[in-house]
Amino acid sequence: MNNSSFSSFTSLFSSYPKGLSWDSSTGFTPLEKAVHTQNKIVVIGQVLSPFTIEKILDDLIPIVDLVGVKQNANTAKTGMYAIDIFIVVNDEDTLKERLQVMSDTYLVDLVYQASCPTLSKPGLLLMDMDSTMIQMECIDEIARLANRYDDVANVTAQAMNGKLAFAESLQTRVACLSGVNLDALEHIKAQLPLMPGLWRLVTELQKCNWKIAIASGGFTYFADYLKDLLGLDFAISNVLEIENEKLTGKTTGQVVDAQVKAKTLSSLQSEWEIDSEQVCAIGDGANDLPMLARASLGVAFHAKPSVRAQADYVVSYQSLDALLLLIAP
């Protein structure tokens, strides 16, 4: 959406309690005396029509005070469009609940932020791998080649929704893979479907000297490959035991579960001397929640319903580089 299309919005806001006007250089500004606030709702979509923005603002009026609206400063860095709606919040819990409903209604992402990291300082992004960096669960695809997909996928779904302890579910699923030849893993690795926006997200953060790492409940066979492919700084994941070029149905070493992911975030922050407000994490499953909670910006990405309900920041409809729209220039 360009400035000329935004200019037609002026009359749209004239009837609002806090009328807003559009200026092509500064964006929307309040007609009344400005109220200074960092609290904002980032609205992200492939297309944001005047109709959609009007409906969103109509829904917000009963629960917040509108202060101003501007084009998101990092829009040009992504394949999406975003606006920042600056607000005064009366009840954060009610607002977050309402944003989830609005997001599903209008099929856009609405993220409330009271503060955000910045690209102007070094930062850290720790990412889950399966269904976050790539568009599949590697263990399910290995099981498919072993004709055990239904058994494994059912356990995976329960674990990701928090209905099974992760270590227990991992042991159960890996046992189903006993006897799988390494050629199957090579076949999967050669066709890993990268999540849309992954390359752009990594490239933009690396330009700004951010550290990027993987903490995965998946396997080193794939996580280490992605680390090298993308030029990332660190990766930790589970190690499949291999004998005679076949999987034994076991893992070796520590299990990378929810607590290990959270501890990895803290240890990397300390090792690389990253300010706490510059620490980001992104994941989709229940085993990502402690990691997301420990980060200053922890985003549940295309997450399971139970995870969306518990996360402070949720992106459900846009690509992975939407994270850039939640970071200041």
pLDDT in tens, 160-184: 777 778 888 889 899 989 999 999 9
CATH H-level, domain 3-113: superfamily = ACT domain (3.30.70.260)
3-113 and 124-326 in the same fold: no
Give the angle subtended at the CA of 255 by the CAs of 253 and 261, to the nearest 5°. 125
Kindly report, residue by residue over 262-275, the tens digit of the pLDDT: 999 999 999 999 99
Beta strands in 31-89, from DSSP E residues, in sequence order = 40-45, 64-71, 81-89
- Structural contact between residues 70 and 283, judged by C-beta atoms closer than 8 angstroms: no
Kindly report, residue by residue over 182-230, the tens digit of the pLDDT: 999 999 999 999 999 999 999 999 999 999 999 999 999 999 999 999 9
Residue 299's H or E segment, with its range, is: strand 297-301
- 8, pLDDT greater than 50: no
Catalytic residue among 128, 140, 257, 321: 128
Residues near 104 by beta carbon (within 8 Å), at least 6 away in sequence: 316
CATH T-level fold of 124-326: Rossmann fold (3.40.50)
Q: Provide, for the chain, the percentages of residues in helix, strand and coil under a 3-state DSSP scheme, each rounded to the nearest 5.
A: 40, 25, 30
Q: What is the model's pLDDT at position 306? A: 87
Name the residue ranges covered by the structural domains of the chain. 3-113, 124-326
- Structural contact between residues 121 and 211, judged by C-beta atoms closer than 8 angstroms: no
Average pLDDT over residues 121-143: 96
Please state, for a pLDDT cut of 90, what percent of the chain lies above it.
65
Catalytic residue among 130, 140, 284, 321: 130
Radius of gyration over every alpha carbon of the chain, rounded to an integer in angstroms? 22
DSSP state of 204: H
Active-site annotation holds for 130: yes
Q: What is the model's pLDDT at position 112? A: 97
- 18, pLDDT greater than 80: no
Active-site annotation holds for 84: no
Average pLDDT value for the chain: 88
